[in-house]
């Protein structure tokens, strides 16, 4: 879905103001439902360390790149770390281990296909069943991609990823705002914050982000290109939470952007979409370029002439991130 303008900005039109006012009474109902589900569920302990990488808002915050970075750190340290995902956007209920040679985004969703490049990824609507399947395949650590509001499994560490530019938007719960739950409730279950910045020199406003009095440690991170953009004009398109982040990052890295087109998050690209994009790119004398998350949603047969620009999450203090992972392993060992 494309977030309403008033989630992150002052209502720009009379219609914006009206819709915002009408949706405002629904927010407490949604928040109460989420809180009740969490309160009434007794989390199940599994025989592995569980690290959840989630967020408080709907839309893109950089959660999946952070999960991938943590998976790679754990595996480089010699730990059998595997990922667990609901598989949003896919048809498979699971438990099932993602096979890059066989599964598509229509099967397992887009984010698991990216994570599967770093570690085994389990898809399961039932997180307990997914965790048990991973453990049967010798997982010592399970990294949950999303699930901060899912209370099924006992988590040894809950990491919340926050976009340093947009934060929690207007501070209201869905549908009046982008929050999945009340900020105070979400932070109360948080062991660490990863603040995703647009670039390393960015100075976050901790007061605006409601992080000034938070006791949980805050780690800064940003997305860094794996390789520079091509030295040719590109027509950039994206169907992620905030497409403009991709366009800005591409331009900052030196990309010669001849045009852009944004789509809703998790957009399912049709052949008509691709025909239109190719027409726009040809008119601009440019190549098509998109994100890794978007290209996996395009059937392989239709990817000709489309390049992906891969990025990775980089921590300002990788030693602190490693220490947090070690802390999670210690907590899991203590409860077993």
Domain ranges of the chain: 43-224+314-335, 227-309
In the structure, what pLDDT confidence band is assigned to residue 221 with cuts at 50, 70 and 90? Answer: very high
- Determine the Cα–Cα distance for residues 134 and 292; give it in Å rounded to an integer: 25
In the structure, what pLDDT confidence band is assigned to residue 28 with cuts at 50, 70 and 90? Answer: very high
Residue 11 CB: number of other CB atoms within 10 A? 16
For the domain with range 43-224+314-335, which CATH number is right: 1.10.150, 1.10.390, 3.30.420, 3.40.50? 3.40.50
Residue 227 CB: number of other CB atoms within 10 A? 9
What is the pTM assigned to this prediction? 0.93
Beta-carbon contacts of residue 264 (< 8 Å; ≥ 6 apart): 1, 2, 239
The answer to whether the beta carbons of residues 183 and 192 sit under 8 Å apart is no
Q: pLDDT digits over 109-156, tens only? A: 999 999 999 999 999 999 999 999 999 999 999 999 999 999 999 999
> Where do runs of H (alpha helix) occur along 194-289?
243-252, 271-284
Instruction: Tell me whether residue 24 is exposed, middle or buried, using C-beta atoms within 10 angstroms of its C-beta: 0 to 12, 13 to 18, 19 or more.
Output: middle
Tell me the CA distances in angstroms from 233 to 169, 238, 253, one per residue in order. Answer: 33, 16, 13
Closest C-alpha to 47, from 140, 143, 120, 128 = 140
């Amino acid at each position: 879905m494309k977030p309403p303008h008033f989630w992150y900005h002052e209502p720009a039109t009379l219609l914006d103001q009206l819709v915002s006012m009408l949706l405002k009474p629904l927010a407490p109902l949604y928040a109460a439902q989420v809180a009740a589900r969490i309160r009434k569920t007794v989390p199940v302990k599994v025989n592995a360390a569980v690290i959840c990488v989630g967020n408080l808002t709907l839309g893109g915050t950089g959660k999946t790149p952070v999960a991938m970075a943590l998976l790679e750190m754990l595996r480089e340290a010699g730990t059998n770390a595997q990922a667990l995902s609901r598989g949003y956007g896919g048809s498979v209920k699971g438990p099932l281990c993602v096979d890059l040679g066989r599964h598509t985004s229509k099967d397992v969703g887009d984010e698991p296909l990216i994570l599967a490049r770093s570690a085994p990824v389990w898809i399961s609507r039932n997180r307990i069943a997914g965790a048990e399947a991973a453990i049967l395949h010798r997982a010592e650590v399970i990294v949950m991609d999303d699930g901060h509001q899912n209370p099924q499994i006992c988590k040894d560490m809950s990491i919340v990823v926050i976009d340093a530019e947009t934060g929690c938007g207007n501070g209201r719960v869905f549908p009046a705002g982008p929050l999945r739950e009340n900020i105070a409730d979400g932070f109360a279950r948080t062991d660490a914050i990863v603040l995703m910045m647009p670039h390393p020199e960015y100075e976050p406003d901790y007061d605006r982000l409601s992080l000034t009095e938070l006791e949980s440690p805050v780690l800064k991170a940003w997305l860094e290109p794996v390789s520079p953009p091509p030295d040719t004009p590109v027509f950039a398109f994206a169907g992620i939470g905030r497409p403009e982040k991709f366009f800005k990052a591409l331009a900052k890295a030196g990309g010669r952007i001849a045009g852009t087109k944004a789509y809703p998050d998790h957009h399912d690209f049709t052949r008509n979409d691709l025909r239109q994009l190719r027409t726009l790119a040809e008119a601009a004398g440019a190549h098509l370029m998109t994100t890794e998350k978007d290209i996996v949603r395009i059937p392989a047969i239709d990817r000709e002439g489309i390049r992906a620009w891969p990025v990775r999450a980089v921590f300002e203090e990788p030693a602190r991130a490693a220490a947090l992972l070690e802390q999670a392993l210690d907590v899991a060992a203590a409860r077993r």
